[in-house]
Structure 1
Amino acid sequence: MFTQELQSKIDQVWLAFHSGGLSNPLSVIEQITFLLFIKQLDELQNRVEQEASITGELINPIYSEFDKELRWSYFKNLSPEEMYKSFQKENGVFDFMKAYGGKSSSFSKFMKNANFIIPTARLLAQVVEMLDKIDMQDKDTKGDVYEYMLSKIATAGSNGQFRTPRHIIKMMVEMMQPTLDDIICDPSAGSCGFLVGAAEYIQSNYKQEILKPAVQNHFLNEMFLGMEFDPTMIRIGAMNLILHGIENPQLKDVDSLSQSNADFEEKASLILANPPFKGSLDKDAVDEKVIAMVDSKKTELLFLGLMLKGLKIGGRCAVIVPDGVLFGSSGAHKKIRKELVENQTLEAIISMPSGVFKPYAGVSTAILIFTKTNAGGTDKVWFYDMKADGYSLDDKRTPTTANDIPDVIERFLNRAKEDRARTEPSFVVPKKEIAANGYDLSINKYKEVEYEQKIYAKPVEIISKIQKLDSERLNLLNDLKTLI
């Protein structure tokens, strides 16, 4: 649980970096992540050694007996100068961390250009001491720490990329219910929050099945696929996944929409994503097959085309889009909506409150959920008008009791039985009606507002009441005068 005390500890670490001369938020997050990863490696080694004390066999140790000085539990007790040297020297602590998994692993590939940039021995010792007091064993706590650190990136949102809150990720994952057979993809992975959320769902719901060797191999090496072009974010994402038990995630350091990612075709059975909302691209740089599907420069439309291309037949997608995608009047907007309704199976649209992405932006968003069929199948579309997500919708985003998320999940999973009036938070709309409205998918196009009739007293009655009150007031005032 992310407590006020834990938040205060992270703030102290952050302040220490700032005071020590490292003020770039993304650089601070990366350096903290490196240290937390090194700390976690030592904790994993402790676990292996504990198992060995029971079984008598040391299986897959992270550190050999010759590497003990590279372990967190060892160097945290060194003097600041000795600790700093152990990080800086060749084949020292930092080099060991970079090489984790071997030269052939995707992790070591992304870590190739990673740099240790903590400027002084004093700052390193100070931060190590602070982080040593933070218990990261609980997965929820670990995720909350990452989310809180990422919230400190002041520049986030400037290019349309917004950190997706963990409770929104969890809601989307629970609606889509990943299975052990899935290949789960996020083509705009960032810190890999959606992939981590899916992994946690699998680990919680398939505790016994995941122990089978074949299933374990799929989970560790094949199930999770992500793309991210920012080298810092892909390193953070890779470490995030490994810290959550996915040893060899299939991450690609590539611009998802470019020709370099042209082989992403019918690869995923489930896509969970929150792609960039704004900005435009040079169409010449975009994959030709995506352009053929969505002739546009707008990233939010191009990503929908990419997802359709990357899904297998029968594959499912839950993606966050800006409201403009639902009602935009351009030819590209209408074409992609018609594609989803007529040629695929559009399942649901959840309209979210505009404060979900605060403090980054007050943009209005919705979740589109569809299945790729290439043969149609849309019969009716389920809509939900979500008004509350458990947090205040201002910049502070403090917890509140108002929360539609449990209802959203339950009703989505039972949407086939939905039979509610359009004045209710959720309802269904037939495909025929959507087509007749030019494939407009905005919830306000179909939601009915129930107006409550107000009956007011006649003016003569109101004036009479005012006169009566004036008379009573005057009498009281005269009584008061007689007492003086």
Structure 2
Amino acid sequence: MITGELKNKVDRIWETFWTGGITNPLDVIEQFTYLLFIKQLDEVETKREADAAVLGYEPDRIFPDDAQEYRWSKFKNLGDSAKMYALIQNKVFPFIKNLHSDSDSAYSRYMGDAIFKIPTPGMLSKVVDGIEGLGLDEASEGGDTKGDLYEYLLSKVATAGTNGQFRTPRHIIKMMVDMVQPNPGDTIIDPAMGSAGFLIEAQTYLREHHSDLFMDDAQREHFNNTMFYGNDMDSTMLRIGAMNMMLHGVENPNISYRDSLSEFNTDEEKYSLVLANPPFKGSLDAEAVASSLLKVTKTKKTELLFLALFLRVLKKGGRAAVIVPDGVLFGSSKAHKQIRKEIIDNNKLTAVVSMPSGVFKPYAGVSTAILFFTKTGAGGTDKVWFYDMKADGFSLDDKRQPVQENDIPDIVARYSNLEAESSRKRTEQSFFVPVEEIKKNDYDLSINEYKEIEYVPVEYPPTEEILSNIDALESEIQAELAELKKLLKK
């Protein structure tokens, strides 16, 4: 979450775009992102040079010898805004558009129609100075300030609520990835990828827990070319996602401009892991939806159709960790029951983690949950683990300030050792519910349907004692009131 001085700095950059004539919020985000990308390419190059100097080898270069002037650290100090403008417009921007040697790559496809829209040298100079002053250094520090920046910028888009363009908080993404534990053999998809946050976190997990995969030619080839897939219908998000993946060292992610729910998406039993927070934007035109999805749940609601899609695109044995609005858990319509029945009866539902409504504030206040399930095609659900998340490490109001209370470490630890959860009581934050009970409850997956509240009896003083205390308090009030009146008469 961007707050305080950093937020004020970003607002000033936004105002520079606005007063300079770039008033479409998505145009602002796009131009902002291009410059951030140029800066971060230089940071990545600098880090490579430092590592190579320590280890004594020649680094892989982003900027060849004849393009060193294209680096942020070089042109930011030119001192002549007109020269810097000409350099960026005529050389640096074409350079980043053609950065990937493979013309069929996602990066090349979505950067191909990128346009540099900053109109004047003076405006460019102000924006470059503003970005330099942000103190962003994600490439070397491994943080997610850039992701937080996208989240804040997207909050300025008036249509973001209807388009579903809300970035899932990184700590929630990390929790989900830590729970499903991606492995080097996985093929991972986010069918509503946005800026590729889930894919970025998955590759980070693999680098941290399976670093040996880069020593194997086949695994390294898979990681760079056939492991990561993402779909979106917003070209800006696709460009941001492609740049994001490239900055994080994934050479050729499979990112596509695609309506994942349409007939044109023919993916079936292709992926071993789905990570997603699909849009909850209401209803779609049923005629535009793939008939294979409508067979599973006849509905126009996107959140239900995406669940049917996840089941279709997963291989047998493939697993999913996906965010859904609470209504999916207990909705009483035929379509709601159909999709829950499909997941529970014909596949294996492992867990339901209910999250507090403040997780997506200040951009949305909807209550959500995370479903963890495995595609089997032959059932397998015997009991379902429920967890009632009450805190995620941030206040649950619009400010979302860091707080001590945080259930996430407990959730990850317990999920990794579900055998030990069998003895938990339903008065605790996590517990198992047998599938027979869920079926009897019309496949309701709301944790409130199953948790038990432990009532502690409260003992009150006798009535006579309470009345006596009230009388004494009343006498005290009257005495003090009389004293006040005497003082006022003087």
Normalising by structure 2, we get a TM-score of: 0.91
Correspondence for 1:71: 71
Q: Are the structure 2 counterparts of residues 146 and 366 from structure 1 closer, same or farther at C-alpha, using a change threshold of 3 Å?
A: same
String of CA shifts for 1:165-217, please: whole Å, max 9, x gaps.
11111111111111111111100001111111111111222234434333222
Counterpart of 1:113 in structure 2 is 113
User: CA offsets per residue over residues 323-362 of structure 1, 9 Å max, x none?
Assistant: 1111111111111101111110000001110111111221
* 1:319 is aligned to 2:322: yes
> Does 2:348 align with 1:349?
no
Q: For the residues of structure 2 that align with 1:424 and 1:365, how far apart are their CA atoms? A: 20
Report deviation, 1:48.
Answer: 4.8
Stretch of structure 1 that moved more, 380-389 or 26-35: 26-35
Equivalent residue letter for 2:42: D
Q: Aligned pair 1:177/2:181, yes or no?
A: yes
- Give, in angstroms, the shift of residue 224 of structure 1: 1.0
The 1:430–1:118 alpha-carbon spacing in structure 2 relative to 1, beyond 3 Å, is same
Alignment deviations for residues 362-401 of structure 1 (CA, whole Å, 9 cap, x no partner): 1111111100111111010001111111111111111112
Relative to structure 1, the CA distance from residue 177 to residue 20 in structure 2 (aligned partners, 3 Å threshold; closer, same or farther) is: same
1:265 maps onto 2:264 in alignment: no
Note if 1:221 corresponds to 2:222.
no
Give SS of 1:261's match. coil
**Counterpart in the other structure of 1:451:** 455
**Aligned letter for 2:257?**
D
Matched, 1:189 2:193: yes
What is the root-mean-square deviation of aligned Cα atoms in Å? 2.6
Q: How does 1:271-282 map to 2 (within 5 A)?
A: 271-282=274-285
After TM superposition, the structure 1 stretch with the greater mean CA deviation from structure 2, 288-297 or 55-64, is 55-64
Q: What is the identity, as a one-letter code, of the residue corresponding to 1:289?
A: S
Q: 1:175 to 1:461 in 2, by over 3 A?
A: same
2: CA distance, partners of 1:434 / 1:468: 55
Describe how 1:395-474 pairs up with structure 2 within 5 A.
395-418=398-421, 419-470=423-474
Amino acid at match of 1:177: Q
CA contact (8 A) 2:168 2:360 kept: yes
* Residue aligned with 1:13, SS: helix
User: 1:461–1:416: structure 2 CA closer, same or farther, 3 Å change rule?
Assistant: same
Q: Given that residues 154 and 165 in structure 2 are in contact (C-alpha distance below 8 angstroms), is that contact kept between their aligned partners in structure 1?
A: no
Tell me, yes or no, if the aligned pair for 2:233 and 2:258 is still in contact at 8 Å.
Answer: yes
Q: 1:103-142, aligned counterparts within 5 Å?
A: 103-133=103-133, 134-136=135-137, 137-140=140-143, 141-142=145-146
- Identify if the C-alpha distance between structure 1 residues 467 and 272 changes in structure 2 by more than 3 Å, giving closer, same or farther: same
Matched, 1:391 2:394: yes
Q: 2:368 aligns with which of 365, 369, 383?
A: 365
Post-superposition offset of 1:472: 6.6
Q: Deviations over 1:402-421 (max 9, x none)?
A: 21111111112222221211
Identify if the C-alpha distance between structure 1 residues 6 and 210 changes in structure 2 by more than 3 Å, giving closer, same or farther.
farther
Distance 1:182 1:159 in 2: 30
Is 2:294 the counterpart of 1:294?
no
SS of 1:260's equivalent in the other structure is coil
Asked if the contact 2:317/2:374 (under 8 Å) is kept, the reply is yes
- In the other structure, the counterpart of 2:84 is 83
Greater alpha carbon shift after TM alignment, 17-26 vs 92-101: 17-26
Query: In the comparison of the two structures, how many residue pairs are matched?
Result: 481
Structure 1 residues without counterparts, runs of 5 or longer? none
Q: Distance in 2 between matches of 1:464 and 1:231?
A: 73
CA contact (8 A) 1:159 1:279 kept: no
TM-superposition CA deviations, 1:67-112 (whole Å, max 9, x none): 33333233223321122222333xx211111111122322010112
Q: Distance in 1 between matches of 2:484 and 2:160?
A: 65
Q: Which stretch of the first structure deviates more once superposed, 33-42 or 359-368?
A: 33-42
Output the CA distance in 2 between the equivalents of 1:214 and 1:9.
45
CA distance in 2, matches of 1:86, 1:482: 84
1:244 corresponds to which residue? Answer: 248
* Unaligned stretches of 5+ residues in structure 2: none
Instruction: Give me the whole-angstrom Cα distance separating, in 1, the residues matched to 2:115 and 2:61.
Output: 25
**Residue 461 of structure 2 aligns to a residue in which SS?**
coil
Displacement after TM superposition at 1:230 (Å) = 0.7
Q: Secondary structure at the match of 1:259?
A: coil
Local SS of the residue matching 1:172: helix
User: Relative to structure 1, is the Cα distance of residues 471 and 53 closer, same or farther in structure 2, using a 3 angstrom cutoff?
Assistant: closer
Label 1:482 to 1:128 Cα distance change in 2 as closer, same or farther (>3 A).
Answer: closer
Deviates more, 1:51-60 or 1:407-416: 51-60
The one-letter code matched in structure 1 to 2:71 is R
Alpha-carbon offset, residue 122 of structure 1: 0.8
- Equivalent pair of 2:196/2:230 in contact (CA under 8 Å): yes
Structure-2 change in CA distance of 1:236 and 1:480 (3 Å): closer
In 2: Cα distance, 1:466 partner to 1:254 partner: 70
Contact 1:147 1:166 in 2 (8 A): no
Name the CA distance, whole Å, in 2 between partners of 1:472 and 1:57.
85
Aligned residue for 1:333? 336
**1:447 shift after superposition:** 1.2
Equivalent AA in structure 2 for residue 65 of structure 1? D
Task: Assess, with a 3 A threshold, how the Cα gap between structure 1 residues 481 and 292 changes in structure 2: closer, same or farther.
Answer: closer
Whether contact under 8 Å (1:161, 1:275) holds in the other structure is no
Q: Please state how far the C-alpha of 1:300 moved relative to its aligned partner.
A: 0.4
Corresponding position of 1:234: 238
In the aligned structure 1, how far is the partner of 2:297 from the partner of 2:19?
48
Which string of whole-angstrom CA distances, capped at 9 and with x for unpartnered residues, describes residues 212-231 of structure 1? 33322222222111000111
Q: Percent identical across equivalent pairs?
A: 56
Inter-partner Cα distance in structure 2 for 1:109 and 1:476? 81
**Please, which moves more after superposition, 116-125 or 446-455?**
446-455
372-381 vs 397-406, which moves further: 397-406
Equivalent-residue separation in structure 1 for 2:208 and 2:438 (angstroms) = 38
> Residue type matched to 1:364 in 2?
S
1:164 CA displacement: 0.8
Q: Secondary structure at the match of 1:179?
A: coil
Q: Could you tell which deviates more after superposition, 26-35 or 457-466? A: 457-466
In structure 1, how many angstroms separate the alpha carbons of the residues matched to 2:372 and 2:316? 15
Deviation larger for 21-30 or 243-252:
21-30
Provide, for residues 113-159 of structure 1, a one-character-per-residue CA deviation record: whole Å limited to 9, x for no partner.
Answer: 21111122111112122323434222214444444444443432223
Equivalents in 2 of 1:426, 1:45: separation in Å? 46
